[in-house]
Amino acid sequence: MYFSKYNIMSQIKDSENFFIVNLLTKNADILSKGEVEEMKDLTLALSKGEGIGTDVYSLSFGEGRGEVFETELLTEAIEKGYICDEIEEKKLFRNAYLDFIDSRDTDEIQIFFVTNYACNFACSYCYQDEYSYPNQQLTKDIIDSFFDYIKKEFPNRKKYLTIFGGEPLLDNPSQREMIQHIITRSNDNNLDISFVTNGYTIVEYFDLLKTARIREIQITLDGTENVHNSRRFLKNGQATFNKIVAGIDLCLQNDIPVNLRFVADKENIDNLPELARFAIEKAWTKSPNFKTQIGRNYELHHCQQMTNNLFSRVSLYEKIYEIYLQNSSIIEFHKPAFFISKFLFENNSLPNPLFDSCPACKTEWAFDYTGKIYSCTATVGKSDESLGTFYPEISRKDEIISQWQSRDITEIKECKSCSVALACGGGCASVAKNINGQLNSPDCRPVKELLEMGMSFYFEKVENV
């Protein structure tokens, strides 16, 4: 018997209490300081190899060996798998892993298609500004080849498209013609489409969008009018806020799902409560078709001029924690995940263990208008990261693709012994490769730190969420 290596135990932020979470057995508890001390004593005794009888749930340790130490905590800890038999735990891990692989093989695939890398915006923080765009135009031929490829490559798989850029909804006749053709071909193939757009031309494109099976439109709004306009403006410097807001209104009035993305850094984070109140006043938050996400502005591909404005994952969530404690009503706009804390709070149960957090080349692929195939949105457009072509001819770098496909926490040395592995899933393969020079390397997530905040926020601080 031993203290499970998948236990995540730590002190809840701003509290005397602790939490323990085990994603393999899907149990979680809040523990008092005394219970944690007792748990530590048990763990110490176990690590010294002192005997434990599984059938009576008792442990003999200490000076007078043979003396039986039996507590309710020990009984519960064994029932919940916090203390367990290592061999049994290995079996449980293997079965859960096989279930994970099975279910991923039938999961829906998200297929990104980049219609162009050009954009009508010149956002102050855009990473794509470093790309030099291939001097090539999207054509109906390329679109047809794309649809032929995905039909052949992913037959009988649930899938949907996400149209991505640059900015895909550029308001010019040739782009409209291409978007119209994509929608027609998607409808013919019974595929849902999502769009990732800056939202500036939703109104102009609305007649076309209405003809598609829209899964959602992801639109970025970085704050209320002045803050947003200071960051996300047209190439000529013109403001964009009011047109985007009109586009969001139009979508929601017509039951088209909107996923509002707020890209956060130190420059705009304090505006989050004001943006939330704006959305609440507009009654966007009342719509079942409205959801939100907070993205972190970070150095993806090149140095930012103002690196000091960027948050780390932990510092972003520390700030969000602080903001939400002072403005709890904005929970109506966005409920921060704090890893699995929100899930646990809303479902009163834990999610399945995460053996792999990177869907690239498994349930996510990206294609672009130059005919190239990529792993996902992190690599799309970086031609040295291309994994093949679908136009003018089909080619595949199978060896590299299989490296992407085999990456998970069972393949990464550091993850194998990591206590938060089943919550982290090994992070982003592209970030790991950029930092460590190889795919099968970790991109560590601050699971414990975020759970410390999340457990505090959802289970001790916020009432009537």
List of residues contacting ligand SF4 (CB under 6 A): 358-360, 364, 375-378, 409, 412, 414-415, 418, 420-421, 424, 426-430, 442-445
Which residue, 446, 157, 462, is CA-closest to 325?
462
CB 429 within 8 A of CB 443: yes
CB 195 within 8 A of CB 188: no
Which DSSP state fits 326? H
* CA dihedral (398, 403, 408, 411) positive or negative: positive
User: How crowded is residue 53: how many other Cβ atoms within 10 Å of its Cβ?
Assistant: 12
Q: Which is closer to ligand SF4, CB of 273 or CB of 295? A: 295
Q: Which is closer to ligand SF4, CB of 272 or CB of 376? A: 376
CB 317 within 8 A of CB 445: no
Q: Which is closer to ligand SF4, CB of 39 or CB of 421? A: 421
Say how far residue 121 (Cα) sits from the centre of its chain.
25
What is the nearest approach in angstroms of ligand SF4 to the Cβ of residue 162?
12
* CA dihedral (427, 433, 438, 444) positive or negative: negative
Q: Which is closer to ligand SF4, CB of 45 or CB of 409? A: 409
Q: Is 295 exposed, middle or buried (0-12, 13-18, 19+ CB in 10 A)?
A: middle
In angstroms, the CA 422 to CA 159 distance is: 26
What is the nearest approach in angstroms of ligand SF4 to the Cβ of residue 311?
18
What is the nearest approach in angstroms of ligand SF4 to the Cβ of residue 426?
5
Q: Which is closer to ligand SF4, CB of 433 or CB of 461? A: 433
What is the nearest approach in angstroms of ligand SF4 to the Cβ of residue 415?
3
In angstroms, the CA 148 to CA 396 distance is: 15
What is the nearest approach in angstroms of ligand SF4 to the Cβ of residue 333?
25
What is the nearest approach in angstroms of ligand SF4 to the Cβ of residue 438?
13
Q: Which residues contact 62 (CB under 8 A, 6 or more apart)?
A: 45, 69
What is the nearest approach in angstroms of ligand SF4 to the Cβ of residue 432?
7
Q: Which is closer to ligand SF4, CB of 193 or CB of 376? A: 376
Q: Which is closer to ligand SF4, CB of 400 or CB of 444? A: 444
Which residue, 420, 422, 413, 418, is CA-closest to 449?
420
Q: Which is closer to ligand SF4, CB of 256 or CB of 360? A: 360
CB 336 within 8 A of CB 320: yes
What is the nearest approach in angstroms of ligand SF4 to the Cβ of residue 216?
18
